[in-house]
Amino acid sequence: MSVAERVAVVGTGVIGTGWATLFLARGLDVVATDPADGAEARLREAVEEMWPTLTRLGVAEGASPDRLAFTPHLDVAVASASFVQENGPEQEDLKQRLFAAIDDAAPPGTVVASSSSGLMPSRLQAMSRRHPERVVVGHPFNPVHLIPLVEVVAGRATTPAAVDRAMAFYTAVGKHPIRVRQEIPGHVANRLQAALWREAYSLVDRGVAAVRDIDTAISNGPGLRWALLGPLMNQHLSGGPGGMAHLLEHLGPPAQAWMDDLGTPTLTPELAAKLVAGVDEELEGVDERRMAAQRDALLLDLLERKRDCPDLPGRPPHRGES
């Protein structure tokens, strides 16, 4: 599939700005829209700030921030778009207005993808009276311009052709999309994160470990491996020559006992206060802007190295690879 020539980005908060910058770096014309005061200036400033990072990863021939247009009028933004990426706040009444307006103004063959992490695509389709069949969830991960994952989720009315176009589009702009085969709250990756958060919150609540220690346990332990292979493939390698079958045979029973003992915390105000206090303690003396910049620099290093490792399952493709 050829990449869509003109993409509309609806909503230019953190997620929408990341999408706009990525699309521009892939040589697309982008028209963005957001009704907030000062939205255009903030968007253009953020694109300029992120552009050197995208340049390091490699931009398409002819790519330029100058190919960004902005309008406060949503109908104008989507009227000539060949792909729409919606990024409005997770408020159902606001989504209702956005999707009704997009549905009225976007060309019939244009895929409408939502970055929503919480709303089901079938609910979004119900807001699209004319063309519900072209609506999908295209859920990214922050920072959008760096993290390759996109979760593509169809609703009950979504046609297979619309899902195929969304998958092909995200692949063409350098993302690594996965097709989520059933609608489910939180999609896939957020549910996996939530499983870890649940036990982390429980361990803090029970006084087993401090926030700092939990972050250290993951970032200096399994998290290092997960960034390269993911949890199930790492299990397979941990089984040695016998692989996953050997590991489940020998460690399955104790793993089942651990799973049975996992906590079920309730996020009370008291627990929230413990978590916030723990994060504040961990951040004492830390410059958060520099921490985030260092994180992004290391992400770039990792992405570049992963692309040179063809035997890693799910590695990000080099530019031009399918």
User: What residue ranges define each of the domains in the chain, with the CATH number in brackets?
Assistant: 6-180 (3.40.50.720), 190-286 (1.10.1040.10)
Query: Above pLDDT 90, what percent of the chain?
Result: 84
The helix (run of H) or strand (run of E) holding residue 177 is strand 176-180
Confidence check: pLDDT of 318 > 80:
no
Band (66; pLDDT cuts 50, 70, 90): very high
Amino acid at 188: V
Looking at residue 29, its pLDDT comes to 97
String of b and e for 177-200 (b: at least 16 CB within 10 Å)?
bbebeebeeebbbbeeeeeeeebb
Name the pairing type of β-strands 149-154 and 135-140. antiparallel
pLDDT tier for residue 310 given thresholds of 50, 70 and 90: confident
**pLDDT at position 171:** 95
Give the pLDDT band (50/70/90) at residue 3.
low
Say what the pLDDT of residue 112 is. Answer: 98
Residues 6+ apart with CB under 8 A from 276: none
Q: Which pLDDT score is estimated for 309?
A: 87
Residues 204 and 214: their CA atoms lie apart, in Å, by: 9
Using 50, 70 and 90 to split pLDDT, how confident is the model at 322?
Answer: very low
pLDDT at 2: 46
Write out pLDDT tens, residues 248-296: 988 888 989 999 999 999 999 999 999 999 999 999 999 999 999 899 8
138, pLDDT greater than 70: yes
**Residue 8: pLDDT band by 50, 70, 90 thresholds?**
very high
Higher pLDDT, 296 or 82: 82
Percentage above 70 pLDDT, the chain: 96
Q: Is the pLDDT of residue 317 over 70?
A: no
Supply the pTM of this predicted model.
0.91
Give the model confidence (pLDDT) of 156-186 as tens digits. Answer: 999 999 999 999 999 999 999 999 999 999 9
Q: How confident is the model at residue 1 (pLDDT cuts 50, 70, 90)?
A: very low
Q: What is the rounded average pLDDT of the residues 143-147?
A: 93
317 or 243: which leads in pLDDT: 243
Q: Which of 60-74, 104-118, 138-152, 229-243 has the lowest mean pLDDT?
A: 229-243
pLDDT at 35: 95
User: How far apart, in whole angstroms, are the C-alpha atoms of residue 60 and residue 186?
Assistant: 33
> For residue 176, what pLDDT is reported?
93
Residue 148's CB is within 10 A of a number of other CB atoms, namely 18
